[in-house]
A and B are shown apart, each in its own frame.
Chain A
Amino acid sequence: MYLQIQQLTKTYGSRTVVSNVDLEMEEGEILSLLGPSGCGKTTILRMIAGLVSPESGTIRVGDRILYDGKREMPVEERGLGMVFQDYALWPHMTVAKNVAFGMRLRRMPARQIEARVRELLELVNLADFGNRYPFQLSGGQQQRVAVARALSTEPRIILLDEPLSSLDTALREVMSADLVRLFKRLKVTTINVTHDQNEAMNMSDRIMVLRDGHVQQVGTPIELYLHPANAFVASFMGPANMFAGEMVPHPEQGVVRLNGTLQQEITGIIHAAVRPRLKEHASLLCRPDDVIVHQHLQQDKDTNMLVGTVSHSSFVGGRWRTLIAVGHEKEYNVLAFAPFQLQLDQQVWLEMPHERCQVVPE
């Protein structure tokens, strides 16, 4: 293992913001820390960088110990690269000077620095911008300078603190693809902090989902999407219909009796990984793409069938994004995509095949 984090914990007063986080990364891997704001993802990143002191735990890179509860290696000796959220480009230095700063500190020969700055600026497609000041650049250009600066000292680990969040959507797509290509080519280990599930899936080999300082699940984007460890991960990884209820004993399948007025039993599969952690209360997950909308009752089908009324329908290109209120007091709002337009308050039947539903812990 290249990067190894064990039992990392940070508290501010009585508030624990990061709780016993474990993480192992291979060299060259790209991992995203994903979660809502306040989940502790930035604090973890800043503890790795050395900008925040952990409460306890260990951080190791290769055979070097960055933190082990007793010793804390100063930021400037860790040899990491970091791209800040607002880029933090030094406003009083040109682009070239920004990129050269770290190399000057290492007393590299001037000619070598010059060559390397040119090389790095070419790498991020800013070859002609060396003499500009940061305020003369667009947001996307500033971001690329920040990347070049982070790479200038040839760090083996790059930390990204939501660097894409201040770019517009279109630019974000392009930049994330560019960054992945760049980091993969340089085989640099990358940790990316984000609250954007799409960005995390776009960029990462693996994703760590966090909530209130606790790790919820670590895995590849596919694993997280297909086999979420709990309801939080399921709803964070893309659109999800979650039905909260109570488990009904069944030898093979997962059966959940819905809460509220409905009390209907719906059936799904249980993945081996979550089975041991299932308790009395659980949720049944069905992705909107897996819900089939019928305008008439379907008889004699061995499937989950819910009845509801249309509360909203909008055309999203090729199909209608439809919200269906289910339950006597409309306890559930189910999202589905219908191939046809539906009237408001029209009664519809929702088919959710057993094999497309899965039971996850709360």
Chain B
Amino acid sequence: MVPQQHRTITAVGEEGNVTDVALPSSPTLLPTWLRRMGQLLVILLPVILLFLFVLYPLAAIMLQSIFPNMFTDSPSLIPNLNAIGQVVKNAENYTALGNSLWQGAITALLASVIGTMLAILARRTDLPLRKAMDILVWIVFFTPSFLVGEAWSLIFLRGGIPDQYVHFSDGFIAWFFSPVGVIFILSLKSFPYVYLSVSAALQWLGSEYEDAARLAGARTGRAWLSINAPLLLPAILAAGLIAFAEAISDFGTAATIAQSSNVTLVTYQIYSAINTSPVNFSLAAALSLFLFIAIVLALLVQSAMLRTRSFQVISGRSRPARPVALGVWKWPATIVCLVIFLFALVVPISACIVLSFLHAFGQGLVASNWTLDNYTAVLSQGSDDLDALFRTLWLALGTATITALVGLPIAFLIRRTQLPGRRLLSLFTLVTIAVPGIILACGYIFAWNAPYLQYIGIGGENGIPFYGTIWILLAAYVGGSLPYATRLGIGALDQVGQNMLDNARIQGASLFQMLTRIVGPLLRSSLISVWLLVFTGTMFELAASELLYPPGQPTLPVRIIALFNDFKLGPGMALSILNIGLVLMALLVLRSIPWVISRLSRGGKRKRESNVSTDSTTH
């Protein structure tokens, strides 16, 4: 079915007379070797990136924890289980790991309850707020946990602004600055994962099963209990496991409120093993390994959960469900929802805004204390803060663009080609999707600072510098977001019919043409979503940045945390608000681009149509 032209060119190309070939009139046909190279590049480059910047660093962690001298100046492959022993024997280490696990588990439970409740209220009832729920949940999802954690620590701080007016009891403060506060923040940050999965599950579930139960004589409550609840359970459990994985890998909470509460979480323990002397690389590796195993186990159970029989047979065809009238429960339910968003969003963000306009919060909310100085200081020409802001901005732009462009070809390889190894690739992206930045960054330290790299001209005295430059940060950001960009790409690709691609193939499109002319345009809105997700994530990325930023060149979140730690809250908050502002701007601009394009193209089409009609009238 390949068009004749292609075959002749291939034949000539194989003879090696490429330069002599008189190309057919079609300008899209490049010399074969160039096309081959192009195809190879499209396939290989993303895969190479995935291997170098995700697989290799993760492998380095495992190797480091077992072969502690592997990445030293005189590498040796003598195995040594001391590091793993340190985790098991040293109370400080296993407490940190234990803290993360049990607090993550309670967080997952609370997040499941909150997320499921909100999803059901938004999708299946006449709750007054339900139309705004999606957007609110997305904002919660995007808000960085270090900011929420820091804001709540400052709100309940002894001598903080609310304390100056209310005066919290010692008991309350002791109660909040404990695992309670940590779980509180983690739950508020994790419920969006559950909300989004359960919403999707409710969509697939439809209302026919419920309708059938009601016709058999079941009241609404009974129909939910006997039919909807068991059918939704796998989705809820799966979402709960994701919330668990996200909670135990969170660094922003560990670095803020958990520190204020003297609760050490494993992510922070990894960070201190590397960042406080004596530096203990093997301990960091061993802790990372344990954390990684916990996350992978959670994710594997999660994906097994979603494959359960009862969940799979749910058909996509269904009519919109009839909303349940809440009746007397309408107002209590509304109040509960309002309180959740008040805690997750309104209170912490308002606190940040207020603090960004205050000289010193010890002086309270008096007229003389209000100021714009924090903003002018941060934005003044040549300030470190402004540098950090621009540094992070271009890093985020670069990361988002690279990830969006590279993730799609990998997704395509996994889903739509017969390439050997694609299943392995798929499993790999699935397993690494939730690798926390702290683990990946830890792996980068071993993998990309290894002395043996000098022999291939990377690092060392004469080699190209990579470790300790801004580029390794870019690589870590890309490596961290590539797996989930790929999974999102796979999800989007599944909605493109194989027939469309086969047809393009039959008409003679090359792989590259297929990606740029067919898959790309069809997935335009998914690509934009991936771009936004990665951009936002990078703008607020703290963990990898803390470990990998080049000396003297902090990123924005690193700078913000440094300001918080120096108790320069005003400038820190001003910088945070600017960060949020930049992200909001990107969201607004990119969300309006598809609209603008559709407006423009519709205008163009109308013009063309009117041409046609005038043509036909002249005939």
Chain A residues at the B interface, C-beta cutoff of 8 Å? 49-52, 74-82, 84, 86, 88-92, 101-102, 105-106, 133-135, 149-150, 152-153
Query: In the complex, which of the residues B218, B313, B314, B317 contacts A76, with contact meaning CB atoms closer than 8 Å?
Result: B218
- Known: A91-B310, A91-B314, A133-B309. Contact between A82 and B226, CB under 8 A? no
Cross-chain contact A134 with B226 (CB below 8 angstroms): no
Q: Is the CB of B313 within 8 A of A75?
A: no
Given A101-B226, A135-B313, is A90 in contact with B212 using a C-beta cutoff of 8 Å?
yes
Q: Is the CB of B215 within 8 A of A105?
A: no
Instruction: Say which residue of A52, A74, A86, A102 sits within 8 Å of B216 (CB atoms).
Output: A102
The winner among A52, A78, A92 for most chain B CB atoms within 10 A is A92
Task: Tell yes or no: B213 within 8 A of A by CB.
Answer: yes
Whether the pair B315, A149 counts as a contact (CB closer than 8 A) is: no
Contact with A along B114-151 (1 / 0, CB 8 A): 00000000000000000000000000000000000000
Which residue of B216, B309, B317 contacts A101 across the interface (Cβ within 8 Å)?
Answer: B216
> Is B307 close to A, CB under 8 A?
no
Indicate with 1 or 0, residue by residue over B75-112, a CB within 8 angstroms of chain A CB atoms.
00000000000000000000000000000000000000
Flag if A75 contacts B211 (CB, 8 Å).
yes
Closest chain B CB from A84 CB (angstroms): 5
Kindly list chain A residues whose C-beta atoms are within 8 Å of the C-beta of B404.
none
Bound CA–CA A88/B213 (angstroms): 9
CB distance from B494 to the nearest CB of A (A): 21
Docked-complex contact A75 and B231, CB < 8 angstroms: no
What sequence of 0s and 1s flags, for each residue 197-213 of chain B, a beta carbon within 8 Å of any chain A beta carbon? 00000000000110111
B230 touches A80 (CB 8 A): no
CB closest residue in chain A, given B310 = A92
Which residues of chain B in 165-211 are interfacial with respect to chain A, using CB atoms and an 8 Å cutoff? 208-209, 211
Collect the chain B residues with CB atoms within 8 Å of residue A92's CB: 230-231, 310
Of B217, B231, B309, B314, chain A has the most CB atoms within 10 Å of the CB of B217
Measured CA separation A51–B208 after assembly (Å)? 10
Contact A102 B211 (CB under 8 A): no
Question: Closest chain A residue to B213 by CB distance?
Answer: A101
Chain A residue with the shortest CB-CB distance to B317: A86
| B-chain residues with CB within 8 Å of residue A52 when the two chains form the complex | 322
Is residue B606 within 8 Å, beta carbon to beta carbon, of the partner chain? no
How far, in angstroms, from A336 to B565 measured CA to CA in the complex? 91
In the docked arrangement, what's the CA distance between A92 and B226, Å?
Answer: 10
Kindly list chain B residues whose C-beta atoms are within 8 Å of the C-beta of A101: 213, 216, 218, 226
In the complex, residue of chain A having the shortest beta-carbon distance to the beta carbon of B216: A102
Kindly state the separation between the CA atoms of A124 and B312 in the bound complex, as whole angstroms: 27
Beta-carbon nearest neighbor of B212 in chain A: A88
Q: Which of A76, A86, A91 contacts B214 (CB 8 A)?
A: A76
Within 8 A of A (CB), among B415-469: none
Residue of B nearest to A102 (CB): B216
Q: Given contacts A76-B219, A86-B315, A90-B227, are A51 and B211 in contact (CB under 8 A)?
A: yes
A90 touches B209 (CB 8 A): yes
Interface residues on B, range: 20 to 34
**Chain B residues within an 8 Å CB radius of A74:** 214, 219
Instruction: Specify which chain A residues have a CB less than 8 angstroms from the CB of B219 in the assembled complex.
Output: 74, 76
Q: Inside 8 A of A149's CB, which chain B residues have their CB?
A: 212, 216
> Residues of A contacting B314 with CB < 8 Å?
91
By beta carbon, the residue of chain A nearest B313 is A91
- Bound complex: CA of A134 vs CA of B217, how far in Å? 21
- Residues from chain B with a CB closer than 8 A to the CB of A50 are 214
Which residues in A have their C-beta under 8 angstroms from that of B310?
A: 91-92
The 4 A-B residue pairs with the shortest CB-CB distance, nearest first, are: A102-B216, A88-B208, A92-B310, A91-B313
Per-residue CB contact flags for chain B residues 461-498 toward chain A (1 = under 8 Å, else 0) read: 00000000000000000000000000000000000000
The distance from the CB of B234 to the nearest CB of chain A, in whole angstroms, is 10
A105 to B215, CA, bound (A): 11
B-to-A contact residues, CB < 8 Å: 208-209, 211-219, 222, 226-227, 230-231, 309-310, 312-315, 317, 322
Q: Are B217 and A79 in contact (CB under 8 A)?
A: yes
Could you say which residues of chain B place their CB within 8 Å of the CB of A134? 313
Supply 6 A–B pairs (Cβ within 8 Å), ascending by A. A76-B215, A76-B218, A81-B215, A101-B226, A134-B313, A153-B217
Question: Besides A86-B208, A91-B309, 14 other CB < 8 A contacts?
Answer: A50-B214, A74-B219, A75-B211, A82-B212, A88-B212, A90-B209, A90-B213, A90-B227, A102-B217, A105-B216, A134-B313, A135-B312, A135-B313, A153-B216
Kindly list chain B residues whose C-beta atoms are within 8 Å of the C-beta of A81: 215
Residues of B within 8 A of A51 (CB): 211, 214, 322
Complex alpha-carbon distance, A152 and B217, angstroms: 11
B215 touches which one: A80, A86, A90, A135 (CB < 8 A)? A80
Question: What CA separation (Å) do A76 and B222 show in the bound complex?
Answer: 11
Chain A residues whose CB sits within 8 angstroms of the CB of B312 once the complex forms: 135
Please, which residues of chain B bring their CB within 8 A of the CB of A79?
217
B393 to chain A, nearest CB (A): 46
Q: Which residues of chain A are within 8 angstroms of B217 by Cβ–Cβ distance?
A: 76-77, 79, 102, 105-106, 153
Which one of B212, B313, B314 has the highest number of Cβ atoms from chain A below 10 Å of its Cβ?
Answer: B212
With the chains together, A40 CA to B213 CA distance in Å?
Answer: 24
Q: What's the Cα separation between A354 and B73 when bound, in Å?
A: 107
CA distance A91 to B218 in the complex (A): 17
A264 to B579, CA, bound (A): 80
The minimal Cβ–Cβ distance linking B106 to chain A, given in whole angstroms, is: 28
Distance in Å from the Cβ of B306 to the closest Cβ of chain A?
A: 14
Q: Please, how many angstroms separate the alpha-carbon atoms of A134 and B226 in the complex?
A: 17
Query: CA of A153 to CA of B217 in the docked complex: distance in angstroms?
Result: 9
In the bound complex, residues from chain B placing their C-beta under 8 Å from that of A88 are: 208-209, 211-212
Who on chain B is nearest to A155 by CB?
Answer: B215
Cβ contact within 8 Å between A75 and B222: no
A82 touches B313 (CB 8 A): no
Which residues of the other chain, A, contact B317 by a CB distance below 8 angstroms? 86
Contact indicator A84/B230 (Cβ below 8 Å)? no
Residue in B closest to A51 when the chains form the complex, CB atoms: B211
A134 to B315, CA, bound (A): 13
Q: In the bound complex, do residue A82 and residue B231 qualify as a contact, i.e. CB atoms below 8 Å apart?
A: no
